[in-house]
Structure 1
């Protein structure tokens, strides 16, 4: 389903909340167990995780601080079934993978607003979705499995919901002001971090400003070959710098309603000396090679939103109302300066911009019919997004001649036309409690309208003369049904069915790329159908004061997966024609478990001791090609033993991963004389981490962690691109950091 296509090989050769949630105590230390935490993403209403007919993870501020979380990989470190994809040589972290699905098939949102989509093409262009400073968050909620019935397109694999801090999180116990400072160090990338938070409150007005700055170097690994060429396994030298600001102003005209104005800005800059791009092959006058490469990459996101909450609407059609309007802009700029062995220089600039405007509204109504209690949730979402992408550049020959033609491109070029998408969704869900509250049924449905409109400007037209582009209009219906049966005081059974879909993306519908020199062209496909899924999940939960267990199994059946740039033969001009098509039929199934023990409930002498564990196993099959899916992670489990006293605590956490066993066959080799390639299989591993926290004074906390205690060499499956490692001597390039230390100090008054 994600195997390299002939076009991708040619390119690499030629281009070497969902709803609102009431303020909670996430910023204040909270010892709530995982299964008892409150979430809103899976149901769009406040429900404990144990009361949801799906698998949901809630990671609160306290947990993020104690585990010294600074990026997405840290966030899901102890969450089997979740992983983060990455690029080892330049671009860093990409996005979160849920149960084998990744990229734009997973919805990532901040305060209910969808994050920008990702896009990459060739070797010098990779716009990711890593736009959020985790220090601005009070909680992260992750829904595993199809969630289109509540969140529409792009929630095919699940939802990652970031919830930012609110003034009320700091203004408790009658306080009308708050000031906090936080300083940190992350040994994985020699990162220095600092942040400041100020909040104020009064009878009707309250506000918050949170400012953060981070700077550091490349993420370390276990590679020890530090040559300045493509045999390098040590990380490429980098300088990283980032900053963020979150500001909120809240006006509460009464106790039952609030207006919230939010401004958010996040930006990151990375400078890389791409030593691993320097070729060790022998150049010729006709085929010069790379002799040096420097990269300057920037990305930023700006969001402005206005929300209004009414808790006591007391109308026949709704008890409460929430609406939000917003605008969000994101920009990615990636600049590459390359030196060639013939004395020439190449300068490339990739840009990818998205500008979105949106409106959301949600209403809730509680009512009773006979012996059945209903909690009806319904609403509307509308988003209009403009997407622009461009590659530009020039070449300077050894004699000083400047040309905008860098084979095979005549810059500037667009790989798809400027595109405007309009997404409209209507949804409704009814949580019904029957049999005296022992049984909950949760039916729901969502209807989505998706429209895509291309705008052919002079850049796209000149690069793709005569190429026909397509508009797209699709309507999708996504039903779901969930059930929770509390058949005993401490036991419950849950089950669910959910239909998911993903609209055909702009870059697959209207790709425009013609390369006469290399003999190929890519054309639009106006007949693409949405990708769809049917997901089933069945689980059992046991919850007691001393222990809890949640065990579930799932089966997801995917249809019409879009395979980008399929070779469809040759056209009248003799060019190989590539076109995105619906061809993939896949299934992913597996089992997950979370369990914990509170030893203090068993014996007063063991007060403060607790055990946490989780495990995830999955299997995926590409049924079209009758081979395993390469995006499914191997068996993974975590185990943590912790002790918490009044003022301090310590935790020893282990991660254990099985060797990746089921792999698709290697890609077809284009050179029959080359040695046969085999698919790289990273070994299984076990890693131990030790973390501690100390509240050494009122409002003062020190957190410290030593990660990978045994300094073990290991490679995560999500860190490599399947089929990319054909030379085993380069595998250390993709290895994880060895033993590192991280620490943070937070003070407030």
Structure 2
């Protein structure tokens, strides 16, 4: 820490010295030194997630793909994944306002999940595959006062790029790829050493964001030669509550200002790369994330609750070893990738409620609940290419295997025997094993590509003996059960590249999601209060059948380069898993029984498009839109709108960058209103339409020093994000709706010194 402070002090001194010489440096920068040009020159995008077995030419990919680079993340001053994906229409990060209160009820988990996860084409949670360097992020889990979100395990300052694939991906990646994949690719020593073309690289980047009064610093160093390279990235950020656009303070449910909280996030990434020879590379990496939060819920105070405090601690450590073999001259296998990894992760959340004892509700009381998801796994991927006559062949094949250990534990006031209403373990410790094998064949005949693919997965959920869980479950004839099944995930795509300017495609893909341990073996007996939760060992995997047709192209013209894409899609989803009432009347003698069942099917369809126009005069235009409609049909035949579907989204960015020294950009976001017909409870509040304008700019004083600043919500609009407020049961008549608004006008700044 002392070393970091010395580096920060040194960087600050350098910033002040350089600032005084800004006019001279700006003139020098205008001359565009070779190093500066090298940093600003756009690089070829390598989309690993979207092109597993297809290549890097996006005109040959039968899917909608986008990549967000580290340069864009820094220019946006994105402090987390919600900021980083702000300008991706149809890709939403759900983050409820942190407004927790009570140890039971809907408010018990309100906002605890932080950046809960990512929604693509109307589905979210564990139905979207989230990867980091190809390793699956922990699954989300919610129970009682605990909500373990998936975004808490990420840190944008560690990433070289974020790759987004829209559409089913189970044919190559297995379970959870029902509707899309997001792969967070961490930085690599070579990426940093290439900046100046030297054998070492150092950088420090302090930043500030007024939306949550947060400040942070990222320190980066890399070294190496042609044989060995190393890298270390350290990041720390401290902040407070994210402001709403509400104005009412005080205590109680009428409060619309954000409840008070503080957070401290720490992360580190280390890598060592050994280049054995020009064809073989070994990479070893270690990553750790530690995010801590403490909140004081003023909005939870009532006549009987005098105070409510909550803590959250998220920790994750990952070790990974990767072997890469590339030999274009080999006639059998040109590419081989093998990796082995281990990751442990734990979310622990503590709540303390003070006040007056009323009936059986004793105060003060506390709840201390944790969720752990550790995984060990690996995989091998190979690629073989050859030509026979006029036909080009490319085969991609591989295997993946992993074993995850998942468990939860609960402790609280009055919980001493772990029986009855005391769910010390909502599900037993479980080993979740998955084995998958895949094959994809890309056959190209001139401009036509035919791409069939098939993956086979088998999974097994094996609960371990648990005195805490068994004390309840066995006594009530609900012993934990082993669950296993398998799934085939086929895919077939056709691409016809008429010309680089026009390449239509069509594809069919099947996806699936295996049930999780808490869905198969969840048991909680609270019959004295009129309800219970029971297990279901007969759960089937969720499945999808999706069809997509689209086209894309790139067209150089005298007015600049056009890149565009458009797609229309439809999908049928079966055996959705949900916790529903299966019997009972809600009384002590006839308690309501809840159970996870394959409760519904869903139908989702929509259109999306993107345009990137880069003109020769330094002006560029990026725009995109996403429109999705979805419905669910219960086993009883009742059809309702799919509430996880976000309304129409349109994003447009206009950028002016006349040289390599400075740029200015305006981004405009439009979201249509959510319709009452698309939600189950028509009296609930739905988000109205909104239009938000952001501004950002950057300036490079010289090759070593750069500055980025931005203003979000320039006109201080009051608006609600449907993705963030859905599921709140917020009535139309509620007077505290402003408590759930997005932040008003805010600004962010950062300064980066690198050498």
**1:654 match:** 668
Per-residue Cα deviation, 1:605-634 (whole angstroms, up to 9, x for no partner): xx1011111111110011332111111100
1:641 corresponds to which of 626, 646, 654? 654
2:90 pairs with 58, 69, 81, which one? 81
Q: Matched residues in 1 for 2:58 and 2:368: separation?
A: 46
Q: Quick check: 363-372 or 509-518, which moved more?
A: 363-372
Residue 229 (structure 1) aligns with = 252
Question: Which of residues 733, 737, 741 is equivalent to 2:747?
Answer: 741
1:127–1:352 Cα contact (<8 Å) kept: no
**Cα separation, 2, equivalents of 1:297 and 1:384:** 26
Q: Does 1:424 align with 2:435?
A: yes
Distance 1:57 1:394 in 2: 49
Report the counterpart of residue 49 of structure 1 in structure 2: 58
User: Does residue 377 of structure 1 match 2:391?
Assistant: no
Query: What residue in structure 2 maps to residue 445 of structure 1?
Result: 454
Partner of 1:16: none
**Pick aligned residue for 2:597 from 581, 587, 596:** 581
1:315 to partner: Cα distance: 5.5
| Distance across 1 between alignment mates of 2:125 and 2:609 | 25
Which of 322, 325, 337 lines up with 2:337 in the alignment?
A: 322
* Structure 1 residue 87: Cα displacement: 2.2
Aligned residues: 689
Residues 578 and 499 (structure 1), Cα distance of their counterparts in 2 relative to 1, 3 Å cut: same
Q: Contact conserved, 1:652 with 1:688, CA < 8 A, in 2? A: yes
Equivalent residue number for residue 4 of structure 1: none
Match of 1:470 among 481, 485, 505: 481
Partner of 2:622: 612
Distance in 2 (alpha carbons) for counterparts of 1:204 and 1:621: 56
Greater helix fraction, Structure 1 or Structure 2: 2
Q: 1:553-702 maps to which residues of 2 (within 5 A)?
A: 553-569=568-584, 574-600=590-616, 607-624=617-634, 625-644=638-657, 645-664=659-678, 666-667=680-681, 678-702=683-707
Work out the CA distance in 1 between the residues paired with 2:464 and 2:418.
25
Secondary structure (helix, strand or coil) at the match of 1:558 reads strand
Pair 1:426–1:185, CA change in 2 (3 A): same
Q: Residue 247 and residue 570 in structure 1: after superposition, are their counterparts in 2 closer, same or farther (change >3 A)? A: same
Q: Name which of 189, 201, 217 aligns with 1:167.
A: 189
Query: Which consecutive residues of structure 1, in runs of 5 or more, have no partner in the other structure?
Result: 1-24, 281-288, 396-402, 601-606, 668-676
Root-mean-square deviation (CA, aligned residues, Å) is: 2.2
Unaligned runs of 5+ in 2: 1-34, 100-110
Contact 1:514 1:520 survives alignment (8 Å): yes
Tell me: CA distance 1:202–1:524, structure 2 relative to 1, closer, same or farther (3 Å): same
SS of residue in 2 equivalent to 1:374: strand
Cα deviation code 1:648-680 (max 9, x no counterpart): 00001100111111545555xxxxxxxxx7121
The yes-or-no answer on 1:199 pairing with 2:204 is: no
Aligned-partner Cα distance in 2 for 1:388–1:314 = 48
Q: CA deviation at 1:597?
A: 2.1
Once the 2 structures are TM-superposed, how far is the Cα of residue 50 of structure 1 from its aligned partner? 3.1
* Rounded Cα–Cα distance in structure 1 between residues aligned with 2:117 and 2:651: 21
721-730 or 586-595, which deviates more: 721-730
Mapped to 2, the partners of 1:425 and 1:460 lie a distance apart of: 31
Give the SS at the match of 1:181: strand
Map 1:295-306; keep pairs closer than 5 Å: 295-306=310-321
Q: CA deviation at 1:70?
A: 1.3
- Paired with 2:148 and 2:382, the residues of 1 have a C-alpha distance of 39
Q: What secondary structure sits across from 2:738 in the alignment?
A: helix
1:555 and 1:588 in contact (8 A); partners too: yes
Tell whether the 8 Å contact from 2:115 to 2:149 is kept in structure 1 after alignment. Answer: no
What is the CA-CA distance between 1:174 and the residue it aligns to? Answer: 4.3
Alpha-carbon distance in 1 for matches of 2:578, 2:459? 20
Query: Which whole-Å CA distance do the structure 2 matches of 1:536 and 1:610 have between them?
Result: 33
1:268: which partner in 2?
291
Partner of 1:284: none
Aligned pairs (5 A) from 1:54-73: 54-73=63-82
User: CA 1:697–1:174 in structure 2 vs 1: closer, same or farther (change >3 Å)?
Assistant: closer
Cα deviation for residue 481 of structure 1 reads: 1.2
2:367 to 333, 345, 348: 348
Q: What SS does the corresponding residue of 1:200 show, helix, strand or coil?
A: strand
Q: How far off its partner does 1:29 sit?
A: 4.6
**How far, CA to CA, are the matches of 1:611 and 1:273 in structure 2?**
44
CA distance in 2, matches of 1:470, 1:376: 40
Q: Deviations over 1:673-726 (max 9, x none)?
A: xxxx71211110100011001111112110000110101100000111335212
**1:38 — aligned with what?**
46
Counterparts of 2:256 and 2:150 in 1: how far apart (Å)?
A: 23
CA apart distance, 1:316: 5.5
- Does the Cα contact within 8 Å between 1:634 and 1:658 map onto a contact in 2? yes
Does 2:138 correspond to 1:132? no
Q: Please report the TM-score for the alignment, with normalisation by the length of structure 1.
A: 0.89
Equivalent residue for 2:421, pick from 400, 409, 415: 409
CA contact (8 A) 1:394 1:405 kept: no
Q: Distance in 2 between matches of 1:48 and 1:68?
A: 29
Residue number in structure 1 paired with 2:107: none
- C-alpha distance after superposition, 1:507-562 (max 9, x if no partner): 11111111021122222212111100011111122321232321111101101111
SS in 2 for 1:171: helix
In structure 2, relative to structure 1, the CA distance for the partners of 1:30 and 1:358 (3 Å cut) is: farther
**SS of corresponding position for 2:74:** helix
Is the aligned partner of 1:106 residue 2:113?
no
The yes-or-no answer on 1:339 pairing with 2:354 is yes
Answer whether contact 1:72 1:96 (CA < 8 A) is retained: no
Structure 1 residues 688-697 or 535-544, which shifts more? 535-544
Q: Secondary structure at the match of 2:193?
A: coil
**Deviating more after overlay: 725-734 vs 450-459:** 725-734
CA positional deviation for 1:30: 5.3
Deviation at 1:31, TM superposition (A): 5.9
Q: CA deviation at 1:117?
A: 0.4
Alpha-carbon distance in 2 for matches of 1:408, 1:650: 62
How much has 1:576 moved relative to structure 2? 2.7
Where 2:484 maps in the other structure, the secondary structure is strand
